[in-house]
Amino acid sequence: MAVQSRSFGKTENGIEVTVFSITNGNGTECSFIDLGAAWVTMNVKDKDGKFADVVIGYDNAEAYYHNPTSCGECVGRNANRIGHAAFTLEGKHYQLAKNNNDNNLHSGPDKWVTHLFQGSLPDGPEGCSVRFTKFSKDGEQGFPGDLEFSVTYTLTEEDALEIRYEASADQTTVINPTNHAYFNLAGDGTGPILDQEVWINADAFTPADEFSIPTGEIRKVAGTPFDFTKQKKIGADIEADYDQLHFAHGYDHNFVLNSPESGLRHAASLYDPKSGRRMDVYTDLPGMQFYTGNGLKNLYPGKNGADYLPRTGVCFETQYFPDAVNKPDWKKPVFKKGEVYRSITVYRFSTQS
């Protein structure tokens, strides 16, 4: 195992950015920057032993600072959407910025990817790690409470990337981070992901309105284009005549993961038949946003000049359900003073013939 750090350049407003790279004994390599604690690369072998970067993103700090489609972002304080950009905690109303129609998306325009985290290299028995910490002051992004936050990325010798989140605040607040990495197992910049295959361990999903705010319904996937309980191509049903697909121009929905009380469990898998690469996702969180990159835009050149067009990457964002803070029957990402938020998500890479 080896960990290295080097300059990733600076943003136009002068922020010096550092990239941390981890390489294991198999040659598998991943890297992260202290700007927003973003996940930048994941180089893994295919069935013939050829390496490729399977995470889409950018070559420079300035692109990550703007990052219009959230490539690799550590999203916080709250991932996904809050309806009407507002919620009430302990009788007090909180109004957030409206940056997605009438709603708040990924905590608003003051995104964490514009914030510089403190990077460190903690010791660990299971692999090499990079930890990023941040202090989020009371009122940042509109959320209450001074918040201490950390995210730790660990690469194991089994080619698994473990992401561990920990946070606590000095008053009741919302804590619901995720990672917004887009994956293309054929390799970054190789084109659409529609022929790659997905399995999701979910018998239900949460339908949303035309602005992607969940209606509150828990709908069974059986008999719908959202049934991934048997592995199928992403593109198999993506153009089906179904209102949820029309609203989001593809998949951009929260899946209700099975066995939510069982701790870390297998949530999903992604497989590319051409390269033989496989990714398995594990989490202890109740939901996962499956997003087929319908809104990817070529506003900034990607790595090596790649064009990132719609459906050239796919996200598996583990989370509490979107807008759960406003849904009385859903488990809420609300933590009281002194309570510690902890969660883990694992992306394990392998090959199959």
Q: Where in the sequence numbering do the catalytic residues fall?
A: 180, 317
DSSP H stretches of helix in 14-103 = 61-66
User: Is 180 in a helix, a strand, or coil?
Assistant: coil
Instruction: Calculate the alpha carbon distances from 184 to 189, 289, 312 in Å.
Output: 8, 16, 7
Mention every residue, 6+ apart, whose C-beta is less than 8 A from residue 50. none
Mention every residue, 6+ apart, whose C-beta is less than 8 A from residue 249. 294, 295, 310
Instruction: Calculate the alpha carbon distances from 22 to 10, 61, 137, 265 in Å.
Output: 21, 19, 31, 25
Angstrom distance (rounded) from CA 269 to CA 41: 19
Q: 3-state SS of 319-341?
A: ECCCCHHHCCCCCCCEECCCCCE
Q: Which two tokens stand for residue 149?
A: 């936050």
Number of neighbours of residue 95 by Cβ within 10 angstroms: 11
Contact 57, 38 (CB under 8 A): yes
